[in-house]
Amino acid sequence: MSEATELHVDAVSTVRNFLKLLELGDVDGAFALVDPDIEWRNTTLPTVRGADRARKAFRSMDRYDMSFAVEIHHIAGEGGTGERDVVLTERTDYLGKGTFKVGFWVCGTFELRRGKIVLWHDHFSWIDLLRGTSVGALSALRRR
């Protein structure tokens, strides 16, 4: 394979890989898949602009020894040209610490340009997050 040969990975695979790398704790590997000017938006929270800031915000979970996991229920891509692609996800995200784990529903929109994620926009319900926190607390108590 020559140096000029590039491996083309479709947008859906890029998003799957991004989420899986975050789940595995490989934040640097995940953020190698994003554009330096990425915007990370979460419902009602301030937008994080730039790969360095987004990486730092995600790494802040390490400080508190928190885990992150994802269960993708549906994923679909549109575009396919590589110039501008959109990937939609319906998933359950899990945030945890020790035996305490909060699961909540997330709909994500990822926009990619030339194979790099330029927008990561997650929509979630605070009510569902509160429900997940309650369920997680009860489950953690039962395991004691």
What residues are labeled active site? 93, 122
Q: Is residue 3 classed exposed, middle or buried when 0-12, 13-18 and 19+ CB atoms within 10 A define those classes? A: exposed
Q: Which residues make Cβ contacts (< 8 Å) with residue 99, sequence separation at least 6?
A: 139, 140, 143, 144
Q: Provide the β-strand partners of residue 69.
A: 94
Cα(93)–Cα(103) distance, integer angstroms: 6
Q: What is the DSSP string of 86-98?
A: EEEEEEEEEEEET
- How far apart CA 28 and CA 1 sit, in angstroms, is 26
Tell me the two tokens of residue 45.
């929270």
